[in-house]
Amino acid sequence: MKYLHYLFIALASCCLTLVHAQTTSSYPNKPIKIIVPFPAGGTSDVLARMVGQKWTEAWGQPVVIENRPGSNGNLVADVLAKSAPDGYTLILMDVGNLVISPALYKLPFNVLTDFAPVAMVGYSPHLLVVSSQIHANTTAELVAYAKSKKGALNFAAAAGMGSAPHLAGVVFAKRSGFDWGYVPYKGGAQAITDLIGGQVDVTFNGMVATYPHVKSGKIKLIAVSSAKRNAQLGDVPTVGETLTGFLTGSWQGLLAPAGTPKSIIDKLNAELLKITAMSDIKERLNTLGAEPSNMSSEQFGQWLKEEIPAMAKIVREEKITVD
């Protein structure tokens, strides 16, 4: 009887291994959907379409990009958490937002248990940019100008209240000793459009979506939020050169629902690493000011675990709240 019991376990294990092998070898055999929780034209959207095109070329299956903006990505993230864990529904978003949200909102999902990290696609620094109507060209001049306006300046909270750009604006203002108003947006592309039009005065936004408008002269670049000066920006200083230790940016990550077979996660990660190593993609990312990541899915998961308490500490210390 004991022999039959062990034989059953062995057979079950073999069957499970065979199913996983078949799942991996046949994946994908239908279109893949990548949800982007922001409007078209933003950093997440640009990278999702770049990745989607290469996956289509490699696997012969269409990759559909679905833009579903709103609620800082939280509502759509919940949709993903409740999707079938089969590798055919993914989300690509600024995971900087995702690690901030647990400190600010009562979420219907748990970031660490309801998602399967696939890959960190890349990092692009935020650019501190202002409307051409603002009389400031450096971080120090912007701080002095904002103080002289006594709270009259409006900061565009790209991707909504509680997003990484909003948090950057709050920390910048608090550390500089002034206040400004916050105008929430569903995505960075809309925020930049209004900045160009002069409806808002200043914002932090991902370099991928922002730098083309700087080069065209439609908005003014004050500083970059990375730890070191960016090679693409020449002599543009970092915010940290004025506010010591200031660092923010767009960390773009790809996630699947929890329970997605590891074999599929590994296949997605491996293909994405191939894509970001391609010369044309590296050149495009470099031109956009983004740095590709070479994280494994496990390393990306560890990053999430470390960033959530780190962001909670900032929110707590800065007394940041959202209505």
**In this structure, what CATH number is given to the domain that contains residue 167?**
3.40.190.10
pLDDT, position 246? 93
Which spans in the chain are helix H?
2-26, 43-59, 74-81, 95-104, 139-149, 164-176, 188-197, 207-215, 262-277, 279-288, 297-317
Residue at 210 is within a domain: yes
- The average confidence (pLDDT) of the chain is 89
What are 111's two structure tokens? Answer: 């970031």
146 and 233 inside one domain: yes
Last residue of a domain, one of 221, 241, 261: 241
pLDDT, position 272? 94
Question: CATH number for the domain including 78?
Answer: 3.40.190.150
**pLDDT tens digit string along 157-203?**
988 888 889 999 999 999 999 999 999 998 888 999 999 999 999 99
Residue at 164 is within a domain: yes
- Domain of residue 144 covers 125-241
**pLDDT tens digit string along 112-135?**
999 999 999 988 899 999 999 999
Residue at 21 is within a domain: no
pLDDT, position 162? 83
86 and 47 inside one domain: yes
182 and 228 inside one domain: yes
DSSP code of residue 283: H
Q: How much is the average pLDDT of 213-228?
A: 94
Local confidence band at 4 (pLDDT 50, 70, 90 cut-offs)? low
294 and 260 inside one domain: yes
Q: How much is the average pLDDT of 205-231?
A: 92
Cβ atoms 166, 315 nearer than 8 A: no
92 and 181 inside one domain: no
Residue 3 pLDDT more than 60? no
Last residue of a domain, one of 223, 241, 259: 241
Which spans in 27-88 are helix H?
43-59, 74-81
* Number of domains, the chain: 2
Residue 323 pLDDT more than 70? no
pLDDT above 90 coverage of the chain, percent: 65
- What are residue 222's phi and psi, to 5 degrees? -95, -50
